[in-house]
């Protein structure tokens, strides 16, 4: 009976969670955003050019359109295969990606020896993520990008020796991510950094100093750069639009209630950067519905309670879990710092890649509670939990 129960938890949970998310998104149907129309228009050109990318990039900006070419190509293929229902099939692809995300999350957690019940609880947390209840139905690259990002992050964290298959997967994910989003920089850079030091075990002090240094350095560079170029008449149209957003004190784009008054100098922009950073982790907006804010709070509470509990029970966390905990937070904070210096979208859309990582931190903290509750739990010489007989 217990074997059947374990089978159900291991194999049916991802299907059940995905089914709930799919029903919610399918009930509403595909949605186009202003960005979607731009990608569709570019896909039409790609079809007209008969998928000749040389002509396409010669016609349009290579720098601007290269990070978008994955979704443009996908839409172009779908429009050829399914001329009248391609949007519906795009949604199906996103739902399929959601399933693989949750399945990979579950398998990764079980591989880390996280308790089966903890993994099951954390899988159902995806249902409380507004991001997973929102973005799969949009004709945008976000869901696919999050899936690719998660594969890259898991692959990076799992590399402990030279493994041809994992290295190939790592390179392929890097390539696809760079072709899917302009926001890939922090994930790609952190993946390269962690892969370059994969033989080194991190500790809490080093990680904290690294994060503080990254935060301060980025904040200073952002404040200095913005102050120097804000009145430059030679800026491109896009740069001028960006500077206008900075001058207005926009914390969350298109959320006027989050805007702050700042002076257009170094200290004003430094203040704006700090407000954006803390707002990244607090996706509350008075213009959201109550249920929207409650759901957003669930993931934030899981993450921050996970930070506190994991730190409190640090000696009860295995060495492998400690490394995952520290490296996951490097990814989360680097993404937050990057968007604090660029833009946080109106629905906290750019927080989407961190949701899975936050839930993983929560899973590690729950496991630490279970470990600490074991009677007579001790730590062996390798840093693993051992139970006294």
Q: How far apart are CA 119 and CA 14, in angstroms?
A: 11
The arithmetic mean of pLDDT across residues 10-36, rounded, is 94
Q: Which residue has the higher pLDDT, 235 or 131?
A: 131
3-class DSSP state of 377: strand
pLDDT at 27 over 70: yes
pLDDT tens-digit profile of 311-364? 999 999 999 999 999 999 999 999 999 999 998 998 999 999 999 999 999 999
Query: Given this model, what pLDDT does residue 139 score?
Result: 97
Which residues sit opposite 377 in a β-bridge? 387
Tens digits of residue pLDDT in 66-96: 999 999 999 999 999 999 999 999 999 999 9
Determine contact, residues 315/379, Cβ cutoff 8 Å.
yes
Closest-CA residue to 215 (of 329, 356, 324):
329
Angle at alpha carbon of residue 37, lines to 33 and 41, rounded to 5°:
165
Q: Does the pLDDT value for residue 377 go beyond 70? A: no
pLDDT one-digit tens code per residue, 188-212: 999 999 999 998 999 999 999 999 9
Q: Which of 161-170, 289-298, 321-330 has the lowest mean pLDDT?
A: 161-170
Is residue 240 a contact partner of residue 226, using CB atoms and an 8 Å limit?
no
- Stretch 27-35: mean pLDDT: 95
* HEC secondary structure over 169-226: HHHHHHHHHHCCCCCCHHHHHHHHHHHHCCCCCCCHHHHHHHHHHHHHHHHHHHHHHH
For residues 272-283, give the mean pLDDT: 95
Query: With bands split at pLDDT 50, 70 and 90, how would you rate the model's confidence at 238?
Result: low
The mean pLDDT of 3-30, rounded to a whole number, is: 86
Structure confidence at residue 81 (pLDDT): 96
Locate 317 and state its tokens: 């966390």
pTM of the model: 0.93
Structure tokens at 8: 């159900």
Question: What are residue 240's DSSP bridge partners?
Answer: none
Q: Taking Cα atoms as reference points, which of 181, 219, 214, 213 lies closest to residue 352? A: 181
DSSP summary character for residue 9: I
What digits encode the pLDDT tens for the residues 207-230?
Answer: 999 999 999 999 999 999 999 887
Q: What's the helix, strand, coil split of the chain in %, to 5? A: 75, 0, 25
């Amino acid at each position: 009976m217990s074997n059947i129960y374990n089978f159900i938890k291991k194999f049916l949970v991802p299907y059940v969670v995905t089914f709930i998310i799919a029903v919610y998104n399918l009930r509403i149907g595909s949605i186009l955003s202003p960005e979607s129309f731009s990608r569709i228009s570019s896909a039409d050109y790609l079809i007209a050019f008969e998928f000749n990318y040389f002509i396409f990039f010669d016609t349009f900006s290579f720098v601007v359109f290269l990070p978008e070419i994955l979704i443009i190509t996908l839409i172009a293929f779908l429009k050829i295969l399914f001329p009248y229902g391609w949007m519906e099939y795009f949604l199906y692809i996103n739902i399929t990606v959601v399933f693989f995300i949750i399945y990979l999350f579950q398998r990764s957690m079980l591989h880390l020896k996280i308790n089966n019940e903890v993994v099951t609880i954390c899988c159902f947390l995806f249902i409380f993520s507004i991001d997973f209840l929102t973005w799969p139905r949009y004709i945008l690259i976000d869901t696919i990008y999050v899936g690719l990002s998660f594969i890259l992050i898991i692959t990076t964290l799992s590399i402990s020796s030279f493994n041809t298959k994992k290295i190939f997967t790592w390179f392929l994910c890097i390539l696809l991510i760079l072709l899917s989003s302009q926001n890939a920089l922090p994930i790609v850079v952190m993946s390269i950094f962690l892969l370059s030091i994969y033989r080194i075990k991190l500790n809490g002090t080093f990680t904290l100093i690294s994060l503080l240094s990254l935060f301060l350095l980025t904040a200073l560079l952002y404040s200095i750069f913005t102050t120097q170029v804000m009145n430059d008449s030679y800026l491109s149209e896009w740069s001028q639009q960006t500077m206008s957003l900075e001058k207005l004190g926009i914390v969350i784009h298109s959320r006027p209630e989050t805007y702050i008054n700042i002076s257009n100098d170094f200290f004003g922009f430094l203040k704006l950067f700090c407000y954006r950073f803390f707002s990244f982790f607090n996706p509350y907006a008075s213009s959201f519905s109550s249920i929207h804010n409650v759901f957003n709070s669930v993931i934030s509470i899981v993450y921050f309670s996970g930070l506190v509990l994991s730190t409190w029970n640090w000696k009860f966390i295995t060495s492998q879990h400690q490394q995952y905990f520290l490296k996951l937070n490097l990814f989360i904070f680097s993404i937050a710092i990057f968007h604090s210096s660029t833009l946080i979208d109106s629905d906290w859309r750019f927080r989407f890649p961190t949701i899975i990582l936050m839930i993983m931190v929560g899973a590690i903290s729950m496991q630490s509670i279970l470990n600490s509750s074991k009677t007579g739990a001790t730590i062996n010489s390798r840093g693993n939990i051992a139970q006294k007989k």
